[in-house]
Structure 1
């Protein structure tokens, strides 16, 4: 075989590529992986994808028609579809950050997404930060659907609930006492899962129902008892019945493994990662997607109910509260896809809006949490939403990757479980406690300022954390 040049591309970041001179097809697979590991400084590269997502096996030859390959650590293929070239006319990229810190690799990931076939617009929110494959904190408008752009935690979002009306105890809450009451929340919920899900029109069963429904999960998920630090927009706050001196509950969690199973099934059964509007795979994926979104809403509500039961226990004979009795104020989903109209390239287009860590700006008030040692905001969307693709930041966004936090100076556990604001953090996982320390995140005030200066939102209220629940060693709740 005459020597030829092969372009090797990193599957998780298409802006990273290099040219490899191949002298022979014998041993080409190992040669590609070794060189890619050295060039990209990425360990454990194990898969080579041909265009369209077909895996190059150990004994397969590279035909002369193959000019590009994508290398992967095992994550699903996210390159262009088969028989399609990389878009020569990439979608428009907009970055909403001026004050907020931006990692250059996150911007590169966003530009790579904008170059995918069918993508018309890629908007990076002020909380934009790098993800494993795609950036987090962005809204992507495309002609079709990319399941991997939505990610594995389909339906993840944040809900705010009334927790306790103003009283002497809620005006000066005892964080340590409240923290001591939050036990048993990582155990499976002992109630009727089928009955709870039926309230949301969910009749199908999944392997995640019994074990995971009603639990917060790991990563950046949390449940937080908080108070009003300051009301900025009294009219909007009155509409939400927000009162100074009352306690509130923020719950940030998603579909707890269900969404991940849907994404894995999708990438296994459909080699093409891009689903066009005329594809028979579209309706089947959307059906699974919508199921996970509803399941995630049910999960947040059950987490809120369980936490309220920890603090204000009812008798075993008390029936489950109705959905209207949960005291929910707002609930927004920031990992999902929906159809909407946007003006792109000077014309009105109906597109699929992928939100990957982006709160909707077309469904009312949206929470924007800071780190576990920072304030959180409630935001009112403003403007027509065109520039920001009908989306807002979903939080402060990470400033440092998880592994970087392990290189920070070691602190006593007490310094990580009691914040500078006097709030308590419940986290029995030492790695997670370290990786979620306040320094891991951007300044939420900068994030909010960036969006306000773009005319995308205005502040309604600032929430002060009292107790943040992450994870606690499993044990039976004692009442």
Structure 2
């Protein structure tokens, strides 16, 4: 059983590759795979999967356990979407649901959850909710199998477990630092918390979508819901072990979506499960610049108001100036390059290209 490193991107910065190689040296690590969106993180790379034997590493999953993507098809035709009106409504939209709404909408089993008040909230960083329309159907046969209406508006939600995941990682580091877990009891204790966070994040995305569609007087059906920060027990190379995904989407669970940055296309894809990529594909475009350098690079070129409009004609609602610069399209890799790299590796079939219409990030509330 040899240790292997697979890097799917030909244009990944050295820091991310160094982090990936360092992670490959961890005790019990069997193989690691860097996706085309691979970029440096806090000690460990983002946009990668890690397969270990005998050791489970909570630090590899990170603090936003269960973070992922949910895609909804709404009941509203894209051409009937009143962009000016929707933008006006969402500029007054609260980042957080009130107690009455939570009492009426949170599932019974989560009504007494310690982090209940975070449900229905997007969070910060690269999280968002984005209305999209079909720009182009690329694989008609696969599209027809999905039984979707290409004329209707879609809603993509990217969020996670909020403060819950942070508390779980903090507790682990307080007890174990960044060490892996090998004791069966310790692993079971972590997995119970982990699974709670994954479920919490999934419910959170559903409630975000419900709140946002309610605000704009529409309804919808969830098409997919896939986490990209989590761990699961799998068999690879004939060996049972732990597959950690940090910013990577599973390729063995059907339909997936790979979004670009705000103001670029997203791609609806059908993954092809390949052991060589640790049954994973990219989860997005991947950062190109560190957050701390974005304002310096862009503030002389764009005003805050200019960043709320994109080259594709979509709009961005974000009342946090720093976040607008940090999440500008220029701060991310070329999503078309990411998609091409996945195609070249025979990891996906691209079904459709979706264009952003209106992206919501934050009202600036704390």
TM-score category of the 2 structures, normalised to the smaller one:
over 0.9
Equivalent in the alignment of 1:185? 94
Equivalent in the alignment of 1:364? 254
CA contact (8 A) 2:268 2:351 kept: yes
What's the offset of the Cα at 1:90?
A: 7.7
Equivalent in the alignment of 2:244? 354
What's the offset of the Cα at 1:452?
A: 0.8
What's the offset of the Cα at 1:202?
A: 4.0
Output the CA distance in 2 between the equivalents of 1:303 and 1:401: 28
The structure 2 residue matched to 1:121, chosen from 31, 40, 43, is 31
What's the offset of the Cα at 1:241?
A: 2.7
CA contact (8 A) 2:75 2:220 kept: no
Aligned pairs for 1:217-256 (under 5 A) are: 217-256=123-162
Query: What TM-score do you get using the length of structure 2 for normalisation?
Result: 0.94
Output the CA distance in 2 between the equivalents of 1:341 and 1:289: 20
Output the CA distance in 2 between the equivalents of 1:123 and 1:150: 14
* C-alpha RMSD of the superposition: 1.9
The structure 2 residue matched to 1:457, chosen from 323, 348, 351, is 348
Output the CA distance in 2 between the equivalents of 1:155 and 1:165: 29
- SS of equivalent to 1:420: coil
Equivalent in the alignment of 1:132? 42
Query: What TM-score do you get using the length of structure 1 for normalisation?
Result: 0.72
Equivalent in the alignment of 1:262? 168
Output the CA distance in 2 between the equivalents of 1:288 and 1:134: 21
Output the CA distance in 2 between the equivalents of 1:109 and 1:119: 14
Output the CA distance in 1 between the equivalents of 2:303 and 2:61: 37
- SS of equivalent to 1:235: helix
Output the CA distance in 2 between the equivalents of 1:221 and 1:471: 9
CA contact (8 A) 1:197 1:295 kept: no
Output the CA distance in 1 between the equivalents of 2:194 and 2:59: 12
- SS of equivalent to 1:400: coil
Equivalent in the alignment of 2:60? 149
The one-character-per-residue Cα deviations of 1:334-368 (angstroms, maximum 9, x if unpaired) are 0000011112xxxx111100000000101111110
Gaps of 5+ in 1: 1-88, 314-324
The one-character-per-residue Cα deviations of 1:254-293 (angstroms, maximum 9, x if unpaired) are 00110000010111133562101x4321100000000000
What's the offset of the Cα at 1:91?
A: 2.5
Output the CA distance in 2 between the equivalents of 1:407 and 1:271: 34
- SS of equivalent to 1:148: helix
- SS of equivalent to 1:287: helix
CA contact (8 A) 2:57 2:178 kept: no
Aligned pairs for 1:266-281 (under 5 A) are: 266-271=172-177, 273-276=179-182, 278-281=183-186
Output the CA distance in 2 between the equivalents of 1:107 and 1:474: 36
Structure whose CA Rg is larger: 1
Output the CA distance in 2 between the equivalents of 1:456 and 1:364: 12
Which structure ranks higher in relative contact order (CA pairs < 8 Å, sequence separation ≥ 6)?
2
What's the offset of the Cα at 1:412?
A: 1.5
CA contact (8 A) 1:139 1:389 kept: yes
Q: Which structure shows the higher helix fraction?
A: 2
Number of positions where the alignment pairs a residue of Structure 1 with one of Structure 2: 362
- After superposition, the Cα gap between the structure-2 partners of 1:300 and 1:149, relative to the gap in structure 1 and judged at 3 Å, is same
- After superposition, the Cα gap between the structure-2 partners of 1:113 and 1:307, relative to the gap in structure 1 and judged at 3 Å, is same
- SS of equivalent to 1:387: helix
Output the CA distance in 2 between the equivalents of 1:423 and 1:326: 21
Output the CA distance in 1 between the equivalents of 2:173 and 2:100: 34
CA contact (8 A) 1:155 1:335 kept: yes
2:325 maps to 1:428: no
CA contact (8 A) 2:231 2:243 kept: yes
The one-character-per-residue Cα deviations of 1:309-358 (angstroms, maximum 9, x if unpaired) are 11007xxxxxxxxxxx8510000000000011112xxxx11110000000
CA contact (8 A) 1:221 1:253 kept: yes
